[in-house]
Every structure is written in C-alpha cells, then in structure tokens.
Amino acid sequence: MKLNNLKVHYPIRSGFLNRITGQVYAVDGVDLNISEGETVGLVGESGSGKTTIGKIIVGLEQMTAGQLIYQGQDISKKRVRNKIQYNKDVQMIFQDSMSSLNPRKTIYDIIAEPIRNFEKLEPIAEKKRILQLLDIVGLPQETLTQYPHQFSGGQRQRIGIARAVSTNPKLIVADEPVSALDLSVQAQVLNFMKQIQKEMNIAFLFISHDLGVVRHMTDNIAVMHYGRIVEKGSRDAIFNHPEHIYTKRLLSSIPSIDISKRE
C-alpha cells in the first residue's frame, strides 16, 4: 500500500450565501508506504489527521487529491477498487467498540456480515468459520447469540478484531484500538493482534497517540503534525534518535517513573 501526496481539504463556508471562504487542511500532502506483514505506527496529537488517513484508506472519506496505490493500481477510482476486491483485503478496527457494532444484531450476524458480502458459504461452513474466529480471539461459543451491550469493552474490541479478520485481509487499519480500555485489557488485545498478524501475515496501520503502545506494536513510525508527516523512520530510530523538534516533544511527554529524569 502506498499513499502518494494524499490531501484531504474541507471547505469553510460562511455568509448569507454560504460561500466557501477558506479551507481546513486535514491532510496536506502525505506520503506513506505499508509493506506486506509490517506494522506502521501513525502518531500525533488529536486533530493531526491520523484518523482521516485511516478513513481514506478504507473508503469512509473522500480524498481531495493524491493517489492510493494498491497492487500497482490507483484504487481512488471506484471501478478499480471493486475489480481487485480491495474492500475485502482492507479492513478496520475502530476506536469505539460499542458504536462500531450494530446493537440490533447478534454477534453471529455481526461477524458473518463481511463474510456474506464477499463469499457464498453454506450455513454449516459459515458457522464453522465464525467459531474459528471466536476461538482466535478467545471468546466462547455462547457469545454467538448475545448482543454487543452484554460485553465489556475489551470483549467488544475482540469481537471487532474477529470481524476485521473474517475476510482474511491483507491490511488492517487499527484506529486507537485500545485507548478506551484498562491497561490489563489493553495488553490482552494487543497480544491478540500480534498473534493474529503472525499467523495470517497481516499488515497493520496502527493509529495511536499512546507512544508506549506504539513502541510495543510497530516496526516503523510516521509522526504527524497539522496534517503533514514531519518525520518517518524505524521504531528504534524514532525513539532513540528523533530529529524533528515535534517528535522530541512527543517523546518528552511520555510519563516516567525514573525520579532522576524529573525536573
């Protein structure tokens, strides 16, 4: 996956005639590569454009300009996207596990929906696939007949992961997947994600503002500030030898229990 000079601008309208008087540059010329099986961290403060990039990749937002290259083709054109089954290969794990799951559907139907969109399985084969997915994320078979509100945040996020991997994707956009969870539950969910990645060779775009989680999960990191990527590099290079002043400020904000480092 390659993002070439990606731009997302939103018009500012004002006045009696609702004319466009300016632009909000949510994403302004981003270049990013995500290789097969790797995890790229996208970090930055709130409003820096991280989530917008994730939504562009999965088709929930429209880009203003630029290219989204997948398997050598520009999939910004809908006909190309459908031809190469892009929507099957690219899935998303959302930050809010409750609002991302349909409260009117059972867990069985929630996980089955993407499978039905791309495959025509017999009922027995479909149920077998769903049970395998539940086993992967550590949930019991009884889960299938229950509804999202009957689960904790960590359990709902596991259900979201099961839904995301149900189509055997090649890339998953994970947008702050553990930010709303307790620390102990965060560790469980992150370990599930790493295990699934290893078993299925899935690439992740891991969007987060938690640098501790990013350090644990990623291979390479891109730092965003005001809609632009200000620094890119390997995990070790970013954490041990940051170059941009904004990256240095982000790293300095990480809490430390070392008293000698406190001012």
Q: Which 3 state secondary structure label does DSSP give 111?
A: helix
Residue 257: per-residue pLDDT: 52
Domain ranges of the chain: 34-63+85-254
How many Cβ atoms sit within 10 Å of the Cβ of residue 105? 14
> Considering only CA atoms, which of 171, 242, 245 is closest in space to residue 204?
171
Condensed to tens digits (0 to 9), the pLDDT of residues 114-146 reads: 999 988 889 999 999 999 999 888 889 988 999
User: pLDDT confidence of 20, banded at 50, 70, 90?
Assistant: confident
* Contact yes or no for 171/89 (Cβ under 8 A): yes
Condensed to tens digits (0 to 9), the pLDDT of residues 138-187 reads: 889 988 999 999 998 888 988 999 999 999 999 999 998 888 777 777 88
Tell me the whole-structure pTM to 2 decimals.
0.89
Condensed to tens digits (0 to 9), the pLDDT of residues 65-74 reads: 999 999 888 8
CATH 3.40.50.12160 fits domain 34-63+85-254: no
Quote the CA–CA distance of 104 and 109 in Å, as a whole number: 10
* Contact yes or no for 50/42 (Cβ under 8 A): yes
State the number of CA atoms in the 13 A half-sphere of 15 facing the CB: 8
